[in-house]
Structure 1
Amino acid sequence: MRRLSFAIATLLAATAMAPLAIARGPDGPAAPSAPVDKIVDEGTNRSEVMRVAQYLTDVIGARLTNSPGMRQAEDWTQAKFREWGLTNVHKEGFEFGRGWSAKNAGVKMIAPRPLTLIAAPLAWTPGTNGPITGQVVLAPMADEAALDQYKGKLKGKIVLLTEPTDITDATDPDFRRYGDADLDKADTFQLQNGGASANRRPSSASRMAFTAKRDAFLKAEGAIAYATMSSRNGKLVHGQNSQFQVGATPPLPGFEIAAEDYRRLTRLAKMGAAPSLELNSEVSYDDSDTKAYNILADIPGTDAKAGYVMAGAHMDSWAMGDGAADNAAGVSMVMEAARIIKASGIKTKRAIRFALWSGEEQGLLGSMAYVENHVASRPVDPALTGTNRYMNWSKAFPIKPGADHSKLAAYFNLDNGSGKIRGIYTQGNTAVVPIFREWLAPFNSMGATKVATGRTGSTDHVFFDAVGIPAFQFIQDPLDYGSNVHHTDVDTFDHLKPDDMRQGAIILATFLVNAANAPEPLPRLPLASEPKASDGFYAAPGAH
């Protein structure tokens, strides 16, 4: 049996003899806090968190939205929730697009010498229908103005679309944990600036329109395939692409080539050595069900009128690697928190709902669909779908509260890898700071100490927060998440940290129980309204 980490073992011994802490409100004691001793005991001595993570990664593997792997994960996680005794286990669909999977792929340089390259097929691009060969040509195409210069030069070629960048010296360690100074940086109150920043987001629609024109140009010019350079060094590849719409199959096979291999190809091309490649990719599309599905499961509360609290993590991943740190880790901790609460027999006034989101990697689409269907809606152009909908959603006013807006008391999210929880972002909600400090106090010896007023984005708490729900993301040690594993081919089970994930599940379970039993729902920020078009400074009449 694996030994418990010293911090967890120490806390377990101490809390086994300690009375329950009392959660204090502004006028004194408010309600008993979560039974930390029970939660720590269940979450350490009978933990299932790594077994869940291993099945999602080693057995199922990559879970691209609507892919066969994602469909298998949808079924398996529902069965697991039912096995643990959760209720109302079901999936909720939203319109997404087509499924795609790569069964086989390879890129070889065949001239001026034979060499196997590290590469990935770009998701949702077509296969090669057997091996194809051709010379490479470097033809960077960053915008429409670049297309004309390559007319008549691409027939039979494999086009390298990215202008190669020079390799830079690494200045940060590949693996790290947060120090006090790092945590302090997160504890900075950030003004919203009247919503002006939301209106300056780049247009996803314009990027997608250019991609379609570029692909059509390559096809018309007789190119046989194209490739881009990986954004990271170290032979890491991602395979990211967002052309998942039904009826919009890209005309050519696309690949991402590892940065070091890509630079070699461009150097050879520039010196006139005429490098040639053999490309091979076998892919399949599935348009039989264009809906993606969120998985939901409940632990009922004792008061049907008290509403519910919620925890979530996204289950979809990119097609390379096994989607371990991003985000089987978060899914496993959310599921383990559900198992801990249920197995411990803890009763809560409010219900607790667990959500495993789909379509996060394409624009938080699963959590957006849940918010729209249950919590609040915004007048977004119905013609906008996918990432275009994501880019415009927060700019649409007014917000119309839905049936669950008053019922949903809090949402907690996990999506920063398997690193130890070090604290929680409050999203500028200053009223929850003293509450969360008390909830974290039993876990200070585990390294969870910081309640930060700062905001963090780009994951599934965002749209809950945007409609006035108290919604939070935990602060986690970065480990090698950002440096190596995020979205890459090395995002595998090996990079997960068992002790950290046990700690994360225990803290999440505690926060859920505390929020579900609090006499009053967590404090809310005011519901956002449409900001003024100005930058907030007075302009005199006639001033320019």
Structure 2
Amino acid sequence: MRMLRWSGLALLGTLTVLPLSAQERVDVATIERIKTEAMERSQVMDIMSWLTDVHGPRLTGSPITKAAGDWAIETMKGWGLENVHYEWWGPFGRGWVADHFHAMMTAPHPFQLIAYPAAWSVGTNGVATGDVVRIAIDSVADFDRLKGTLRGKWVMMDPVPTIEAHWQPLATRFTDDALAGMAAVQPPTQAQQAASRGGRGAFGGGPRGPNMAQLRTEFFVNEGVLGVLVPSTRDGGTLRAAATGNRNPDAPAAVPSIIVAGEHYGRISRLLEKQIPVTVEIDSRVRFTDGDLRSFNILGEIPGTDPALKDEVVMIGAHFDSWHMGTGATDNGAGSATMLEAMRILKALDLKPRRTIRIGLWTGEEQGLIGSRQYVAAHLASRDSTGLQTMPAWQKFQAYFNVDNGGGKIRGVFQQSNPEVAPIFEAWMQPFNAGGMQTLTITNTGGTDHLAFDGVGLPGFQFIQDPLEYGTRTHHTNMDVYERIQPDDMKWNAAVLAAFAWQAAQRDGQLPRKDAR
């Protein structure tokens, strides 16, 4: 892909890029202003601190998440954004807060455990001290075998995780070869596209009978088990979040589920193998919030000014919720802060877009893209047994751009199996080529909110970002905190998002769409 450096081109104003983009126009002068605002007067790390240090973690349904939403709404109003508001959806279920936690091995020797409750787990109702036992329950016959043996015990069932040395750095950036490999991927077939439509978070079917996990929980409650110890799937004392509890306010009784660092889980297990008794004490004080079972999305916009196009919408967004162990920095405070900063930049420059530019901050993403899917179903389109059902706003929707791959520098765009956007995005990326944003890949990427839009035939895109420590340290862990964010990458990302939103808003025609069937 050709690199074009812009040191002397900012004076040209609007550039027609040839031949890559078939005369796709790039507003270079405005993009240079965007870059200057983003790099020299950035507020993105202050936004990050508010979202993480002050209002983190942001588990969907929790009071902290609502406080974070209040802050975001007041901040956007202060910048002068319009139509800033909550949009409520639901029911989601109960909120959950961990108010206090302590875990210690008390025998054979005192040893502080790195541990934390799983999300929506019940608490211990005071300090729960008991011996640890390893058991296996693979069939209903095991219930009879174990009956009467577990009262007052902490239970371990999972195998000890294999923990190896790190022979490669935890933090990485994409190499040129890796990016070239992404760019060389061939488009998927129509059958592959159909199979992947909707991706993670599609709503399930009807009710099912009790599974083994439900039967185990009922058995543990009846037998007086203190709780279950579960090994973290990360190492280095890092805890990876999980949700083993039930958000339903009518959920049946359960026992506490405690995630323990893999190394500490391993020590307990090896002691038990030597038939050395192990006792632990755990005090887990949690609180369910049942007052309002709904959750929300946060919306705000810069209205369009072109009489013919102002009702069309360009949307940028990210999920606002997080897991509960860290403060939700890389997942996804980084995405939310990037989007907020992009909107601030556009407003600070007093830009007047032709189309409306709207921000959407979603909750419920970690439970299956719920917030963004609710928004799409309420305003744009849905699918039923007869196919795609669209609303008037579907025709006037330009594109949705999402960030949810940590805080790493944006290096390109996943085209989401839409080859026709390639020359357009190549042109839009050219002001950022010199900084390393040069890659387009036809690849579909999943697991986040652009799928809600892509799944109903709308242009929805996610960006290629340097991995940094996202997959090795921070994703869904207690180490997902402010310190893991790289400020220069965040400034760059905000500039990219503001520029893409501006280009999409100013373009004469709509972006090409895939077959919506």
| Same fold flag (TM > 0.5) | yes
Q: Is the 8 A contact 1:12 1:40 kept in 2?
A: no
Matches within 5 A, 1:390-409: 398-409=387-398
Residues 1:48 and 2:43 are matched in the alignment: yes
Q: Does 1:121 align with 2:117?
A: yes
Aligned: 1:19 with 2:13 = yes
1:504 is matched with: 493
Distance 1:155 1:429 in 2: 58
Between the aligned partners of 1:374 and 1:83, the Cα distance in structure 2 is 26
Assess if the C-alpha contact under 8 Å between 1:125 and 1:249 holds in 2.
Answer: no
Looking at structure 2, the residues matched to 338 and 105 of structure 1 have their Cα atoms a distance apart, in angstroms, of 38
Alignment of 1:399-478 (within 5 A): 399-478=388-467
Q: After the TM superposition, which of the residue ranges 470-479 and 191-200 deviates more from structure 2?
A: 191-200
- Superposition pairs for residues 16-95 of structure 1, below 5 Å? 16-22=10-16, 29=23, 31=25, 33=27, 35-95=30-90
Give the distance between the partners of 1:98 and 1:192, measured in 2 at CA: 40
Q: Tell me the CA shift for residue 220 of structure 1.
A: 1.5
Match status 1:281 vs 2:284: yes
Map Cα deviations across residues 5-62 of structure 1 (whole Å, 9 max, x no partner).
xxxxx98965654533235799964555261111111111211111100111111120
Q: Structure 2 matches for 1:200-349, cutoff 5 A? A: 209-241=211-243, 243-248=246-251, 250-303=253-306, 305-306=308-309, 307-349=312-354
* Distance in 1 between residues matched to 2:55 and 2:484, nearest whole Å: 17
Change (3 A) 1:153 1:105: same
Q: CA deviation at 1:170?
A: 3.5
Matched position secondary structure for 2:395: coil
Identity across aligned pairs (percent)? Answer: 40
- 1:317 & 1:262 partners in 2: Cα distance? 25
Equivalent in the alignment of 2:369: 364
**What is the alpha-carbon distance in structure 2 between the residues aligned to residue 200 and residue 37 of structure 1?**
36
1:125: Cα distance to partner?
Answer: 1.2
Structure 2 CA distance for aligned equivalents of residues 398 and 143 of structure 1:
41
Query: In the aligned structure 2, how far is the partner of 1:208 from the partner of 1:500?
Result: 47
CA distance in 1, matches of 2:460, 2:54: 32
Measured in 2, the distance between the counterparts of 1:199 and 1:77 equals 29
CA 148–15 in structure 1, closer or farther in 2 if over 3 Å, else same = farther
**Aligned Cα root-mean-square deviation (Å):** 2.5
* 1:4 match: none
Task: State the shift of 1:146 in Å.
Answer: 5.7
For residues 17 and 154 of structure 2, what CA distance do their matches in structure 1 show? Answer: 64
Structure 1 letter corresponding to 2:82 = T
Q: CA deviation at 1:452?
A: 1.0
SS in 2 for 1:377: strand
TM-score by length of 1: 0.87
Q: Decide whether the 8 Å contact of 2:20 with 2:426 is kept in 1.
A: no
Aligned residue number for residue 382 of structure 1: none
Q: Could you list the per-position Cα deviations for residues 387-430 of structure 1 after superposition, in whole angstroms to 9, with x for gaps in the alignment?
A: xxxxxxxxx65121123211111000000111000000000100
Query: Structure 1 pair 106/142, CA: closer, same or farther in 2 (3 Å)?
Result: farther
Report how far residue 141 of structure 1 moved.
4.3
Q: Which amino acid aligns with 1:435?
A: I
- Matching residue within 128, 131, 137 for 2:133: 137
Return the alpha-carbon distance in structure 2 between the equivalents of residues 309 and 123 of structure 1: 35
Q: Distance in 2 between matches of 1:237 and 1:140?
A: 23
Q: Distance in 1 between matches of 2:392 and 2:212?
A: 40
**Matched letter for residue 321 of structure 1:** G
Q: Kindly tell me: are residues 113 and 477 of structure 1, through their superposed partners in 2, closer, same or farther at Cα, counting changes over 3 Å?
A: same
Aligned CA distance change for structure 1 residues 282 and 305 (closer, same or farther; 3 Å) = farther
Q: Distance in 2 between matches of 1:374 and 1:481?
A: 33
- C-alpha displacement at 1:303, in angstroms? 3.0
Structure 1 spans left out of the alignment, 5+ residues: 1-9, 380-395, 529-544
Matches of 1:511 and 1:315, distance apart in 2: 21
Judging changes above 3 Å, is the alpha-carbon distance between structure 1 residues 116 and 262 closer, same or farther for their aligned structure 2 residues? same
* Structure-2 separation of matches of 1:434 and 1:459: 25
Query: What is the distance in 2 between the residues matched to 1:143 and 1:17?
Result: 73
Going from structure 1 to structure 2, the CA distance change for 1:183 and 1:148 (only over 3 Å counts) comes to farther
Q: What is the match of residue 533 of structure 1? A: none
Separation in structure 2 between the aligned mates of residue 412 and residue 356 of structure 1, nearest angstrom: 12
Question: Which amino acid in 2 is paired with 1:241?
Answer: A
Q: Is the 8 A contact 1:58 1:322 kept in 2?
A: yes
Question: Can you list the C-alpha shifts for 1:414-447, whole angstroms capped at 9, x where unaligned?
Answer: 0011100000000010000011011001101111
3-state secondary structure, aligned to 2:14 = coil
Cα distance in 1 between the residues matched to 2:413 and 2:50: 28
2:514 alignment partner, SS class: coil
Q: 1:23 touches 1:33 (CA, 8 Å); kept in 2?
A: no
Shift of 1:496: 0.3
Residues 118 and 258, structure 1, Cα contact 8 Å, conserved in 2 = yes
**Which residue in 2 is equivalent to 1:524?**
513
**Deviation by residue 1:273-295 (Cα, 9 ceiling, x = unmatched):** 11011010111111111111100
SS, match of residue 232 in structure 1: coil
Identify if the C-alpha distance between structure 1 residues 27 and 344 changes in structure 2 by more than 3 Å, giving closer, same or farther.
closer
Displacement, 1:474?
Answer: 0.4
Change over 3 Å in CA distance of 1:184–1:143 after alignment to 2: farther
Structure 2 residue ranges without an equivalent (≥5): none
Q: 1:252 to 1:163 in 2, by over 3 A?
A: same
Separation (CA, whole Å) in 2 of partners of 1:141 and 1:456: 37
| Matches of 1:28 and 1:133, distance apart in 2 | 71
- TM-score for the superposition, normalised by structure 2: 0.92
Q: 1:57 to 1:479 in 2, by over 3 A?
A: same
Deviations 1:311-369 (A, max 9, x none): 00011001101100111111111001101111112222110110111011111111110
Whether 1:378 and 2:380 are equivalent positions in the alignment is no
C-alpha separation in 2, matches of 1:310 and 1:199: 19
Code of the residue aligned with 1:282 in structure 2: it is: R
Local SS of the residue matching 1:378 = strand
Supply the AA of the counterpart residue of 1:224. Answer: L
| One-letter identity of the residue aligned with 1:154 | L
**CA contact under 8 A between 1:304 and 1:350: conserved in structure 2?**
no
- The 1:524–1:109 alpha-carbon spacing in structure 2 relative to 1, beyond 3 Å, is same
Provide the residue aligned with 2:106 in structure 1.
Answer: 110
CA distance 1:157–1:439, shift in 2 (3 Å): same
Greater Cα offset, 295-304 or 423-432: 295-304
What amino acid sits opposite 1:44 in the alignment? M
